[in-house]
Structure 1
Amino acid sequence: MSEDGTRAVSVIAFIGSVFSPWYAWSGRRDPENHVCINVATYGPGGRFAMTDRGRAALRQSAERFTVGPSSLHWRGDRLVIDLDERGAAPLFGRLRGRITLTPQALTHVELPLTPDGAHVWRPFAPSCTIAVDLDAPGWRWQGHGYFDANFGTRALEADFAQWSWGRFPLRQGTTCFYDAIRRDGSVIGAAVHVDGRGHAEPIPAPPAAALPRSLWAVRRTTRADSGHRPRQDLPMLDAPFYCRSAVETRIHGEVTTGVHEALDLTRFRQPWMKPMLALRVPRRAGWDFQAGS
């Protein structure tokens, strides 16, 4: 998110593209044949790109992850993301340039999201600085960011009905909330604070606080001090089953704006959802690195 709060960017690298209809239709048997670097920019001139690519587009090593024309690689203590993607309908156009993420510190936190460990959240670097340099007017800026990962051996919709997640920067580190309802009715209500040195510890979570439903009527909740009403500052991604936005809240007396996500996996399970997604998530099975296409 930019320092002035008017622009933001998200990048998600997938092996086994969990929100891809093509991966679901394949039976999820071969995750390396459904890879993607999803990028979205939020603010004036924002774009969205999410191409499901085949095995031919994937290259990976200890230092680099490449999918077709885009890649993530470590350069010393910085994660450099080089992008060259095509925007999805209805806002076609190139998403091209570089994003550099510099972690303040790395953590060793691992949070199992199911009792059997089939789903795990890893907040590698909740506090980062970010430098964005994209080939578009107004898309050269600096701000704060984060770097995390989710791992799973089953489909998300097989185990979860819904979840909300939030990452909020504070004067002394970053606080993350993970609230979810599993399909068996059990719940997750995790609150983790990570200081500037990467030390993480569970903290008492402020009370749950409702946000207005998204444009697609996705239910949203976050955490806030008692009596404080959180609000959306910047709309980001609004999909039939998923909403991402910048949200202002108050945590233990400190007002902060961070990134919030809400996911309705009961809706995502519906068979009519996959054809809708295919309009925004094209499939491109082949790739030739020498030709660059």
Structure 2
Amino acid sequence: MNVATYGPGGRFTMTDRGRSALRQTKDMLRIGPSKMGWNGKHLVVEIDEITAPPQFARVRGTVRLTPSAITDQELPLTEDGAHVWRPFAPIAQIEVDMEAPGWQWAGHGYFDANFGIRSLEEDFSYWTWGRYPTRDGTTCFYDAVRRDGSTLAQAARFDASGDVSDIEPPPRRKIGKSLWQVKRETRGDDASHPKQIMNMLDAPFYSRSVMKTRLDAEDVIGVHEALDLRRFSKPWLKPMIALRVPRRPGWRFDSDQSA
């Protein structure tokens, strides 16, 4: 389970576990010592992890997400449907209660997921994604370049009841490259100048940040991602990923072993 916190004392954990660490039911997913479950009203995530090197610290706590509505929408990212984006709850409230001073807060959030039957680097060269809360709901952009040269340019607006409408994407706007020189761009009104408000996660192939842009004459701040899968597929990068995503193939649910 990937967990990342940002700012002073921020931590990152993403342990790659074997099949024995997985338990799944209709309403619950458990991966080793951590789990998430749906109780009919809330998605409750119980976290018990250890940070990736070079840090070695516990990350424990609970995240509770309450959707304003759950959508039934799916966006195929390839023509054959091999990759799908599923915005379960584009608008939600969250409560965070972690076992560290100052890591307790409540605010605005969302819940989405990607599914696929092939690895991303098989089908994509590059993509960007952005989600921007607005006065009327939230707006999401998905732009991608596929390996065959075709492109995806999707813009959608969600309201608090879960209704979605496709909208005409505003023009692409360039943003400065990340610290690892990953190319970044998002969408914005004519004459708008999107800019990074906060760097959240910076990797050789991936950037996540808080971004400000302007949509329909409204200044909005949201989460932005850029993913360079050409760089991700380079052999020299794999050892670096292995350091940040350690493998723990052995896990027994009846044991008292640590994460």
TM-superposition CA deviations, 1:13-41 (whole Å, max 9, x none): xxxxxxxxxxxxxxxxxxxxxxxx11101
Structure 1 counterpart of 2:74, from 101, 110, 113: 110
Q: Counterpart of 1:226 in structure 2: which amino acid? A: D
Q: Which residue of 2 aligns with 1:209?
A: 173
TM-superposition CA deviations, 1:202-223 (whole Å, max 9, x none): 0111110011000000000001
Q: Which residue of 2 aligns with 1:150?
A: 114
State the TM-score, normalized to the length of structure 1: 0.86
Q: CA deviation at 1:75?
A: 2.0
Tell me the number of residue pairs that the alignment of Structure 1 and Structure 2 aligns.
257
Query: Which runs of 5 or more residues in structure 2 are unaligned?
Result: none
Distance in 1 separating the partners of 2:105 and 2:195: 24
Q: Which residue of 2 aligns with 1:198?
A: 162
Structure 2 counterpart of 1:265, from 224, 229, 236: 229
State the TM-score, normalized to the length of structure 2: 0.98
Distance in 2 separating the partners of 1:92 and 1:254: 42
TM-superposition CA deviations, 1:214-262 (whole Å, max 9, x none): 0000000001111111111111110000000010111111111110000
Distance in 2 separating the partners of 1:197 and 1:92: 42
Give me the identity figure in percent: 59
Q: Which residue of 1 aligns with 2:47?
A: 83
Q: CA deviation at 1:76?
A: 2.5
Q: Which residue of 2 aligns with 1:8?
A: none
Instruction: Give yes or no for the alignment of 1:71 onto 2:17.
Output: no
Q: How does 1:13-92 map to 2 (within 5 A)?
A: 37-92=1-56
Q: Which residue of 1 aligns with 2:87?
A: 123
Provide the aligned C-alpha RMSD in A.
0.8
Q: CA deviation at 1:46?
A: 0.7
Instruction: Give yes or no for the alignment of 1:292 onto 2:256.
Output: yes
Q: Any idea what SS the aligned residue of 1:133 has?
A: strand
Q: Counterpart of 2:249 in structure 1: which amino acid? A: A
Instruction: Give yes or no for the alignment of 1:278 onto 2:242.
Output: yes
Q: Which residue of 2 aligns with 1:30?
A: none
Contact 1:206 1:252 in 2 (8 A): no
Structure 1 counterpart of 2:128, from 160, 164, 189: 164
Q: Counterpart of 2:61 in structure 1: which amino acid? A: G
Q: Counterpart of 2:245 in structure 1: which amino acid? A: V
Q: Counterpart of 1:154 in structure 2: which amino acid? A: R
Structure 2 counterpart of 1:245, from 199, 205, 209: 209
Q: Any idea what SS the aligned residue of 1:185 has?
A: coil
Distance in 2 separating the partners of 1:253 and 1:89: 44
Query: Which runs of 5 or more residues in structure 1 are unaligned?
Result: 1-36
The ranges of structure 1 where at least 4 consecutive aligned residues each deviate by more than 3 angstroms after the TM superposition are none
Q: Which residue of 2 aligns with 1:226?
A: 190
Q: CA deviation at 1:185?
A: 1.0
Distance in 1 separating the partners of 2:82 and 2:40: 32
Distance in 1 separating the partners of 2:112 and 2:185: 21
Distance in 2 separating the partners of 1:195 and 1:105: 9
